[in-house]
Structure formats: structure tokens, C-alpha cells
């Protein structure tokens, strides 16, 4: 099906479903790490090494995303990557539950990370194309899918652990769910179709232009800042409130769940907010709200401040990433390559953030170390004009053959 034969709403919902499936798959892996540790017979360092393979695979996927987008296009990349996510999920379950092989599990985690990263970049490209067709904000809703899937995957993982479901069975079921979505959802992601007279820019030329454009790096900085703001909570919030605010482990997990739920809610509401007050104003408000929530958490040592601060921090950090992706996709002639480039730059935050906070925390504590987020908020505010909408040149397809028509 082409862009003309599929409604923008059906297209958007398909992207939401696939993004939710990615979040579900990642949460399934992370929620069962204690069971993986026990079945593989490794210590926490071993699990850390396995997750390092996952991160390494993700980096490889990001590094090759531009080339694969050029060769396949975004839709085909989703169609190829998602069954690999399902296969890797199954492989992790089998290699752990049936074979108890750490090397094989680590290899499966690397494949899993690469496939998820490729799918995620392609979904961002498709989301920006969908925004251009719909003429309204879409990416916050699409990214809400990832958060929703993460909550669902974590909840089902907790239930599976509580009732003693073996990791082999759990991961097999999860793989089937991923595969079903991988087969069904792309039917509502349109195939690219060039309009008469359209002349897409060659991929290699587009890549040179995008990487030579300073705007790419400024948008990458925006994405990096909000990736760090969000990732700092995912990595350190639970441990910080347990060690430094007197919460027990269940309370720490609850605060992380509250952060994820609030971020999901913020993204569901985000598209309407952006359409109402504009992209830049929403971006500025988001950064200020995130800073206010973190300030409560870091500087007010009461339980109410932890709860309120966590929720406010999450609401503020929920929209920066999708807004940056939207800005990267404004020009259909270079949307795919620019979205791929800024996504790659932004994802560096998820790899650089944990060790930086950890090093600082060794000297001053976890929650005070999170104050580095204030610096990133200031940087994001300073470069906020870069997210203003830009007029799009008339074009039917972009450099990678994805729809670029503005409705």
C-alpha cells in the first residue's frame, strides 16, 4: 500500500504498535535479569557484561542505520528488523533456559540490541514522514508507545517472576508476541511512492550534506540532552532513593514505575500541547519542568518531594526527544538521513550517561550527581530555537524513498 491509500491515523497507530513492541521486548529482557543470572550461574558482573553486548549491538545498529535506510528504506527496514527482534528474544530464552550458555546468550543480546536500534531509527523516520502527511504533531504519541510497551513488559515480567514462569517459556511467549506485531503492523505503514517529477537526492549526497550541516549537530545536542535527562532516571533513580532517601527496594522500583508512567502520560498528551502552543514553547516548558522536578528530588529530602519531584521530572523529560526528532524531519529532502544522524548522536547519551553519573556519585552521592542534568537543561534552553518548524520544500519522497508529501 502507498501513502495515498493509507490514512495518516492508521499509519500512526501502526508505528505506535511497533514502537510499543520494542519497549515490551526490552523490558522483558531487563525484568528477568535476576532469573537470567541464576540460570546462567553468573555474578552481577556477568549480567553487566551481557548488557554490554546488548549496548554494543545497539551501537552497531545505529552506526549502520544510515546505510541500511539508503538500501532498504525505512518501511522495509522495520519489516526486516522486527522479525530479528523476535528471533533474538527467542534465542536469549533458549540459550539461557535450555542451554544455560553465557556466550550464546551474550551473542543473542548483541543481535537483539542491533535489531531494536535499527527498528527504532526507522520508526523515527516513518514518524517524521507521518507528521508531514498529517500536518500535525505525531512523534510524541509514537514515542508514548515505547513507554507504554516498557510498562507492559515490566509488569508482565514481574508477574512471570512472581508466579515462577521459567525464562524459556516467558521469552518464547514474548517472541511470539513480537513476531505477530512484526507481521501485522507494517501492513499499515505505506510503501514509498514517488510522484511524477520527483527526483530524490542520492543517499550518499544527502549524507554528506546532512553531516556537513551544523544544524544536524545542534539537533543532536538537543536529543543528547534529553536522552541524558531521561536516561539518568532510568539508570539511577531507584538506587538513589533507596540509598539516600530511605526507601526500601520495592519503594525504589515503585518510583521508577511512577517515572515511566508519568512519562507515558506526558507523551500521550504531548501532541495536543505542541499543536496548541507550538514546538519551541513546548520544548522550553518541558526543559523547565524537568529541572523543577529534579530540583525537588535532589534538594528537598522529604518523601513527598521524592514522589512529586519524580513525577514532575518525568513529565518534563517526556517531550524533548520526540520534538528534536520532529525538527530533524522538517525537510523531506533530507529527513531520513538527518533523523538517522541525530538519533545516532542522541543515543550516545544512553551509553555515556550511566558511567558519568557513576563517577561523580563516587564522590558526592547519587542524587547530587544527578545535578549534571541542570547543565544539560541549560544547554537545551540555549539552543531551543533550532526546534522551530522550518518550511518544507515541495517533495514527494525523501533521500531514502520514504513519503515526504505535506498534506
* CATH architecture observed for domain 3-188: Up-down Bundle (1.20)
Question: What does the pLDDT read at residue 16?
Answer: 97
User: Do the first three CATH levels of 3-188 and 203-387 match, i.e. the same topology?
Assistant: yes
Please state, in angstroms and as integers, the Cα–Cα distance from residue 25 to each residue in 58, 148, 152, 274, 305, following that order. Answer: 14, 12, 10, 29, 32
Question: What does the pLDDT read at residue 337?
Answer: 82
Question: What does the pLDDT read at residue 192?
Answer: 64
Question: What does the pLDDT read at residue 195?
Answer: 35
Ranges of the chain with pLDDT below 50: 193-202, 394-407
Specify which residues 191 forms β-bridges with. Answer: 2
Report DSSP letters for 287-351, one per residue.
HHHHHHHHHHHHH--SHHHHHHHHHHHHHHHSSHHHHHHHHHTS-TTTHHHHHHHHHHHHHHHHH
Answer for the pair 51, 179: CB distance below 8 angstroms, yes or no: no
Domain ranges of the chain: 3-188, 203-387
Which has the closest alpha carbon to 256: 210, 301, 307, 206? 307
Which has the closest alpha carbon to 232: 42, 407, 373? 373
Question: What does the pLDDT read at residue 200?
Answer: 45
Helical packing angle, 335-364 and 214-244, nearest 10°: 30
* CATH architecture observed for domain 203-387: Up-down Bundle (1.20)
Question: What does the pLDDT read at residue 194?
Answer: 37
Q: pTM here?
A: 0.83
- Per-residue pLDDT of 17-64, as tens digits, reads 999 999 999 989 988 888 898 899 988 778 888 988 998 899 899 888
Question: What does the pLDDT read at residue 400?
Answer: 42
Question: What does the pLDDT read at residue 1?
Answer: 58
Query: Which residues does 89 contact at the CB level (< 8 Å), separation at least 6?
Result: 25, 28, 29, 112, 171, 174, 175, 178
Main-chain dihedrals φ then ψ at residue 68, nearest 5 degrees: -70, -35
Main-chain dihedrals φ then ψ at residue 148, nearest 5 degrees: -60, -45
Answer for the pair 235, 354: CB distance below 8 angstroms, yes or no: yes
Amino acid at each position: 500500500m502507498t501513502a495515498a491509500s493509507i490514512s495518516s491515523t492508521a499509519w500512526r497507530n501502526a508505528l505506535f504498535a511497533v514502537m510499543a513492541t520494542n519497549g515490551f521486548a526490552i523490558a522483558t529482557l531487563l525484568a528477568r535479569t535476576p532469573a537470567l543470572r541464576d540460570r546462567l550461574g553468573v555474578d552481577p558482573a556477568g549480567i553487566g557484561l551481557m548488557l554490554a553486548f546488548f549496548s554494543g549491538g545497539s551501537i552497531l545498529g545505529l552506526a549502520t542505520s544510515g546505510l541500511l535506510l539508503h538500501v532498504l528504506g525505512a518501511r522495509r527496514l522495520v519489516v526486516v528488523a522486527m522479525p530479528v527482534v523476535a528471533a533474538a528474544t527467542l534465542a536469549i530464552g533458549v540459550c539461557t533456559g535450555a542451554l544455560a550458555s553465557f556466550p550464546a546468550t551474550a551473542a543473542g543480546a548483541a543481535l537483539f540490541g542491533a535489531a531494536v536500534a535499527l527498528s527504532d531509527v526507522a520508526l523515527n523516520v516513518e514518524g517524521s514522514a507521518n507528521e508531514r502527511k498529517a500536518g500535525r504533531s505525531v512523534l510524541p504519541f509514537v514515542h508514548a508507545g515505547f513507554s507504554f510497551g516498557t510498562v507492559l513488559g515490566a509488569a508482565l515480567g514481574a508477574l512471570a517472576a512472581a508466579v515462577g514462569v521459567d525464562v524459556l517459556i516467558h521469552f518464547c511467549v514474548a517472541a511470539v508476541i513480537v513476531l505477530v506485531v512484526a507481521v501485522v503492523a507494517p501492513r499499515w505503514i505505506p510503501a514509498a511512492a514517488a510522484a511524477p517529477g520527483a527526483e530524490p537526492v542520492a543517499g550518499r549526497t544527502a549524507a554528506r550534506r546532512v553531516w556537513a550541516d551544523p544544524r544536524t549537530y545542534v539537533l543532536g545536542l538537543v536529543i543528547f540532552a534529553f536522552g541524558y535527562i531521561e536516561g539518568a532516571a532510568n539508570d539511577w533513580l531507584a538506587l538513589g532513593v533507596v540509598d539516600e532517601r530511605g526507601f526500601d527496594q520495592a519503594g525504589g522500583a515503585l518510583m521508577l514505575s511512577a517515572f515511566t508512567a508519568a512519562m507515558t502520560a506526558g507523551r500521550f498528551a504531548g501532541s495536543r500541547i505542541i499543536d496548541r502552543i507550538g514546538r519551541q514553547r513546548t520544548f522550553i516548558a518541558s526543559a523547565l519542568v524537568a529541572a523543577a522536578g529534579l530540583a525537588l528530588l535532589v534538594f528537598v529530602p522529604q518523601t513527598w518531594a521524592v514522589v512529586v519531584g519524580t513525577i514532575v521530572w518525568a513529565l518534563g523529560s517526556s517531550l524533548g526527544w520526540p520534538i528534536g526528532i520532529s525538527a530533524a524531519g522538517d525537510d523531506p529532502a533530507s529527513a531520513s538521513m538527518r533523523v538517522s544522524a541525530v538519533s545516532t548522536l542522541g543515543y550516545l547519551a544512553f551509553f555515556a550517561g550511566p558511567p558519568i553519573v557513576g563517577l561523580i556519585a563516587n564522590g558526592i552521592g547519587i542524587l547530587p550527581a544527578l545535578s549534571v542534568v541542570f547543565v544539560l537543561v541549560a544547554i537545551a534552553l540555549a539552543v531551543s530555537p533550532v526546534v522551530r518548524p522550518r518550511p518544507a520544500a515541495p517533495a514527494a519522497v525523501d533521500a531514502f524513498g520514504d513519503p515526504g508529501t505535506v498534506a
